[in-house]
């Protein structure tokens, strides 16, 4: 499978090269859907220029990147395009390898269950076969590389691409049950934007599953593993933060980066939900609603992980989706990451109910974003409500997508336990609903 992957990578890189050299690169780099105040390339250059003039880049409201990004781009700023293309390639390859390994695990587990006769007779058509799953890794890599969202994000040189690369590597290390590296990459991802902390739970669950540690709070080995993982995670986070102190010799970056992400002072419109709400919020209630919105991101971790503790990779997918939808400054690059994991669940298609609607809405909204932006900002014949409506619709479609997959997944699990054709007590046909 190396050859198709290489071909895919070459195609992806050439598309990006072509777009870098065209005049669209400047237009795309300014679009608010693709760059946010956290990830914009313009701000990175501004921060580096400020540094050359002897001023701390964190003074003022321009630069919100972490010091490690400063360190990286100090040396590669002339080769920025290659860096971002390399980041995309790394993510695609990492996802490819991770999914390949995961498929092997899934098939192994399935074989165990079949031999243990856990599946009722009539649901054998739900059982997956290796031939079905042969092309899934390639599909995952393809969806990531050739996704228009990813291409736009790369051409805009948004540092979201780097974030995605770190998350991809984290995913790879988790699947390869490498505790230390997974914790370290997660710490790096959390260091850059706070939200990946919610991915701790699925990572821990998956590695415990692979190491045959039962997920039960009564077992000592469970707690010992949790302590180990958290120690490495928090320790490396601490080390990285302290190391960043030594780059510029000050703690300025903490309010500039983490304070900015958490307190959302910049209300530039983007595809998220925060800006409109907080633009019209009274000062009195701002803190309250800020807490509500931020808790919303972290809130789904515990219930979902209790429900999906047998299926940590699906939990990871759901966490990534929740993070991309509800984070304070989402961009299309974040969406691209969890969309690329959709081929993993292609076997659920027969249970998906809203997929046509969701696809149409997502495509329509993506097309309408620039239109309504133009109408609002340039023609003056629309106002922010129009743009926010499309944002809202886009996010609703994403949430519908995620919940649809959730429903399909659970339904398949239910069928695998109780049989495909469900009967009520009196023998008539029953249907399954997600309450």
Partner 1 sequence: MKLPVLFLIFATHFLSGTAHIGKNVGNFFSSQHTNNWAVLVCTSRFWFNYRHVANTLSVYRSVKRLGIPDSHIVLMLADDMACNHRNPKPATVFSHKNMELNVYGDDVEVDYRGYEVTVENFLRVLTGRLPPSTPRSKRLLSDDRSNILIYLTGHGGNGFLKFQDSEEISNVELADAFEQMWQKRRYNELLFIIDTCQGASMYERFYSPNLMALASSQVGEDSLSHQPDLAIGVHLMDRYTFYLLEFLEDIHPASKTNMNDLFKVCPKSQCVSTPGHRTDLFLRDPGSVLITDFFGSVRKVEITTDAINLTEPIEQKQDIAVSEEQEKVQYSYTDQLPVSEIIHQKPKQKDWHPPDGFILGLWTLILLVFFRAYGIKHLKHIF
Within positions 26 to 55, which residues make up the interface with partner 1, using CB under 8 A? 51-54
Mark residues 173-202: x for contact with partner 1 by CB under 8 A, - for none.
Answer: -----x-xx--x------------------
Nearer to partner 1, 53 or 121 (CB): 53
The number of residues making up the chain comes to 435
Nearer to partner 1, 152 or 207 (CB): 207
Q: Record the tokens describing residue 94, joined without a space.
A: 């990492």
Nearer to partner 1, 48 or 155 (CB): 48
Q: What angle do CA 61, 64, 66 make, to 5 degrees?
A: 145
Q: What is the Rg, in whole angstroms, of the alpha carbon atoms belonging to the chain?
A: 23
- In sequence order, what E strands does 188-232 have? none
If DSSP codes are grouped into helix, strand and coil, which group holds residue 429? Answer: strand
Find the shortest distance in angstroms from Cβ 67 to partner 1.
Answer: 9
Q: Record the tokens describing residue 366, joined without a space.
A: 């993506």
Cβ count within 10 A of residue 273: 19
What number of H helices and E strands is found in the chain? 20, 0
Nearer to partner 1, 68 or 382 (CB): 68
Mark residues 228-267: x for contact with partner 1 by CB under 8 A, - for none.
Answer: -----------x---x--xx-x------------------
> What is the total count of residues that contact partner 1 (CB under 8 A)?
16
Closest CA to 33 of 193, 379, 268: 268
At a CB cut-off of 8 Å and minimum separation 6, what does 289 contact?
Answer: 277, 278, 281
Q: Are 174 and 206 in contact (CB under 8 A)?
A: yes
Find the shortest distance in angstroms from Cβ 236 to partner 1.
Answer: 8
Which listed residue (7, 11, 26, 71) binds partner 1 by CB under 8 A? Answer: 71
Nearer to partner 1, 11 or 180 (CB): 180
Residues 15 and 30: their CA atoms lie apart, in Å, by 20
Instruction: Please tell me whether residue 303 binds partner 1 under the rule CB under 8 A.
Output: no
Find the shortest distance in angstroms from Cβ 161 to partner 1.
Answer: 21
Q: Which parts of this chain interact with partner 1 (CB under 8 A)?
A: 51-54, 70-71, 74, 178, 180-181, 184, 239, 243, 246-247, 249
């Amino acid at each position: 499978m190396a050859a198709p992957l290489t071909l895919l990578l070459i195609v992806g890189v050439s598309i990006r090269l072509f777009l870098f050299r065209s005049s669209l690169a400047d237009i795309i780099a300014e679009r608010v859907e693709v760059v946010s105040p956290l990830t914009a390339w313009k701000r990175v250059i501004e921060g580096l220029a400020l540094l050359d003039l002897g001023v701390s880049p964190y003074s003022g409201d321009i630069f919100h990147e972490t010091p490690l990004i400063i360190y990286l781009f100090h040396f590669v700023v002339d080769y920025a395009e290659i860096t971002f293309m390399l980041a995309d390639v790394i993510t695609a390859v990492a996802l490819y390898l991770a999914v390949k390994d995961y498929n092997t695990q899934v098939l192994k587990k399935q074989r165990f269950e079949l031999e243990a006769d856990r599946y009722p007779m009539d649901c054998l058509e739900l059982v997956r076969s290796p031939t079905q799953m042969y092309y899934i890794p390639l599909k995952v890599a393809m969806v990531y590389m050739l996704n228009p969202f990813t291409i736009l994000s790369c051409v805009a040189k948004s540092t979201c691409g780097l974030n995605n690369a770190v998350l991809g590597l984290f995913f790879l290390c988790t699947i390869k049950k490498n505790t230390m590296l997974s914790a370290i990459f997660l710490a790096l991802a959390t260091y850059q934007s706070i939200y990946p902390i919610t991915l701790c739970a699925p990572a821990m669950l998956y590695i415990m599953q692979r190491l045959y540690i039962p997920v039960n709070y009564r077992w000592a080995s469970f707690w010992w593993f949790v302590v180990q993982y958290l120690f490495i995670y928090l320790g490396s986070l601490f080390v990285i933060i302290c190391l960043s102190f030594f780059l510029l010799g000050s703690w300025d970056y903490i309010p500039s980066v983490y304070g900015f992400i958490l307190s959302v002072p910049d209300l530039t419109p983007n595809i998220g939900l925060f800006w409109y709400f907080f633009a019209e919020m009274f000062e009195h209630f701002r803190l309250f609603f800020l807490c509500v919105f931020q808790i919303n991101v972290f809130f789904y971790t515990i219930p979902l992980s209790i429900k999906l503790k047998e299926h940590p990779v699906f939990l990871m997918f759901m966490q990534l989706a929740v993070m991309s939808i509800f984070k304070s400054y989402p961009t299309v690059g974040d969406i691209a990451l969890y969309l690329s994991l959709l081929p993993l669940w292609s076997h659920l298609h027969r249970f998906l109910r809203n997929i046509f609607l969701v696809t149409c809405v997502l495509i329509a909204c993506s097309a309408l974003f620039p239109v309504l932006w133009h109408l609002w900002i340039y023609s003056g014949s629309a106002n922010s409500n129009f743009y926010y409506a499309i944002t809202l619709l886009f996010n609703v479609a994403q949430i519908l997508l995620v919940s649809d997959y959730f429903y399909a997944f659970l339904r398949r699990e239910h069928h695998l336990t109780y049989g495909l054709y469900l009967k009520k007590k009196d023998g008539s046909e029953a249907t399954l609903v997600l309450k």
